[in-house]
Amino acid sequence: MTTTSDSTETPRPFLGANVNKLLVQRRFDKHAHEYDSYAEVQRVMAQELAQRISTSYTGPVFRIADIGCGTGLLTLELLRLFPEASATLVDMSPQMVRAACTKLEQSGTAARRLDPVIADAEAWVQEQGGQRGSRNRAQAYDLIVSSAAFQWFNRPAETAGGLLRLLAPGGVLAFATFMPGTLHELHESFGEAESALGLPSVPRGLAYPAREDWLGWLSAPVRAAVSEADERSDDTAAPADNLSCITAAASTADPAVLSSHKAMPPSVTWEEASYRYAFPGVPAMLQQVRRVGAGNAVASSAAAGALNRTLYRKMVKCYHDRYRLPDGRIPLTYEVAYGIVELQT
């Protein structure tokens, strides 16, 4: 595995993931028992995100929400860092939630510290936001985290804003998510094969928001709060609508992108990394991709993109011809971003 911080993907407006959530749930339920055996990059992402949280956030943590908790890879790291905290585990897959609770309890976490929630995270965020008027400080979250789950959002802008509004004053939203360019070898090989066979191009993976998308979405609550505060005379903005700056040497946040208000500083620490893995062949690579739920789940193309043998053989040849390494193995790349947003106290 190698890591870099460069990105070659051209930014473009994000048009939506169009994910078939029911299909995603079924796949994760089916493979929950073996997920950890194949989740190489997901494990790295959870560890890296936990490390960033531990070095950038020094406030007290009593309530954590893990969005798309999976088998609990990230929650396990965080409960070790914050032994006084309880955790809400949100995932659409009942089997994943069950696996996470089992893992955490076997690691010594008391069941009373866990609040398992089987739900589509986007629907859960919307529901929690609807209850905001009746929520008190004790019901807010000090830390909301997510690793390798945001790519399943069909409404990422709305959901990201909703998550920020669920934070307590001084709270943190920290996430790791996939970026454009992820699995590019596989997608490009399919595209080349389809072109060679005279077949129409079919999306065979998710669309990923670019850096500019995320920075704009994460700053939207800031701009809304500033506008609202300017109209009020009592200067009592809602606690979770006010963002402050987290500074880091590796931050690539652009003030012009983050906020149009002159008094609002950059508020997002944003880092990107590229992880490259090598496999003995395409079948082994595809097995890992499928076991972690990363197969095609685009609602509009799942049926149209059924894989036939001719296309598969051509894709394998294109993959080997273009990407085969000197030792005979083939590579697969994951582009990842780590984002941290902190609220003012």
User: Whole-prediction pTM value?
Assistant: 0.81
Three-class SS of the chain: CEEECCCCCCCCCCCCCCECHHHHHHHHHHHHHHHHHHCHHHHHHHHHHHHHHHHHCCCCCCEEEEECCCCCHHHHHHHHHCCCCEEEEEECCHHHHHHHHHHHHHCCCCHHHEEEEECCHHHHHHHHHHCHHHCCHHHCEEEEEEECCHHHCCCHHHHHHHHHCCEEEEEEEEEEEECCCCCHHHHHHHHHHHHHCCCCCCCCCCCCCCHHHHHHHHHHHHHHHHHHHHHCCCCCCCHHHCEECCCCCCCCCCHHHHCCCCCCCCCEEEEEEEEEEEECCHHHHHHHHHHCCCCCCECCCCCCCCCCHHHHHHHHHHHHHHHCCCCCCEEEEEEEEEEEEEECC
Please tell me the distance from the alpha carbon of residue 159 to that of residue 179, in angstroms, as a whole number. 17
Residue 141 corresponds to which tokens in the numbers above? 């979250």
Residues 54 and 32 sit within 8 Å (Cβ to Cβ): no
Phi/psi of residue 111, nearest 5 degrees: -60, -30
Which mean pLDDT values do the consecutive 10-residue runs of the chain (345 residues) have?
A: 45 66 90 92 97 90 97 96 96 97 96 97 91 62 96 92 92 96 95 94 85 87 45 38 32 38 55 97 92 63 61 96 97 97 79
Contact partners, residue 103, CB within 8 Å, separation at least 6: 71, 72, 76
Per-residue pLDDT at 106: 96
Per-residue pLDDT at 250: 36
Please tell me the distance from the alpha carbon of residue 92 to that of residue 24, in angstroms, as a whole number. 9
Per-residue pLDDT at 304: 45
Please tell me the distance from the alpha carbon of residue 35 to that of residue 91, in angstroms, as a whole number. 14
Cα–Cα nearest to 19, from 173, 190, 278, 203 = 203
Residues 167 and 144 sit within 8 Å (Cβ to Cβ): yes
Cα–Cα nearest to 159, from 111, 191, 127, 207 = 127
Task: Tell how strand 268-279 and strand 2-4 pair up.
Answer: antiparallel
Per-residue pLDDT at 54: 94
Per-residue pLDDT at 293: 72
